[in-house]
Amino acid sequence: MRGYSACMKSRQTLPHLWLLSDARNDASLARCLKHMPRGSGFIFRHYHLPPQGRRRRFRMLSRLARRYGHTVVLAGETRLAMAWRADGAYGPTKALKNASRILRLATAHDFAEIGQANRSRADALLLSPVFPTRSHPGAQPLGPTRFRLLAARSRIPVIALGGMTADRARRLAWPAWAAIDGLV
């Protein structure tokens, strides 16, 4: 896994553990943020909320996350992430343009999206779904072998996502992983 800890923009180490927010884990986010290792990452999604409610919830959770030393990333375009004072933006490569001052975490599910993330020089990519997940019921998971084949094509750090738990991360032997339900 090439240079997972390198992050030229922020001059800090990228977190190895990431929590993604979702409507279904909203009630436990404060507890999870408190108990995650200091310096973990938090990706705020909350797509289910209307714009003003989403921004209010982001402010509250980002303050809490920063209190525990976590990196805070907003799902959405980079200009929105900068306006909301997030540490980074998360989403498809096309949404991560024009951001030299914040982290850019690209989503990827296949070779083509990994190629786009490589060309865009995103700071890292979240490759999913590694295992079956409630986020995409019925979707074919990559599984450990295909995950490793795809991850080997990345020139940027890869974060495993999709059905991840601490136990699955250990079995996968992959140091960087993210979860929605797996940390609750």
Predicted confidence (pLDDT) per residue in 61-105, tens digit: 999 999 999 999 999 999 999 999 999 999 999 989 866 689 999
In a domain, 79, yes or no: yes
Helices of type H across 23-178: 29-35, 51-67, 78-83, 111-120, 143-152, 166-172
Burial class (CB in 10 A: 0-12, 13-18, 19+), 26: middle
Q: Considering the entire predicted model, what is its pTM?
A: 0.90
Residue 183 binned pLDDT confidence (cut-offs 50, 70, 90): confident
Sequence letter at residue 125:
L
Whole domain around residue 137: which residue ranges?
Answer: 17-179
Q: What is the DSSP letter of 154?
A: -
Quote the CA–CA distance of 133 and 163 in Å, as a whole number. Answer: 5
In a domain, 168, yes or no: yes
Output the domain CATH number for residue 83: 3.20.20.70
**Predicted pLDDT at 138:** 79
In a domain, 66, yes or no: yes
Q: How many domains does the chain have?
A: 1
In a domain, 88, yes or no: yes
Q: How many helices and strands, by DSSP H and E, does the chain display?
A: 6, 8
In a domain, 27, yes or no: yes
pLDDT tens, position by position, 118-149: 999 899 999 999 999 887 777 899 999 999 99
Q: How confident is the model over 110-124, as a mean pLDDT?
A: 95
Mean model confidence pLDDT for the chain: 90
Quote the CA–CA distance of 8 and 77 in Å, as a whole number. Answer: 20
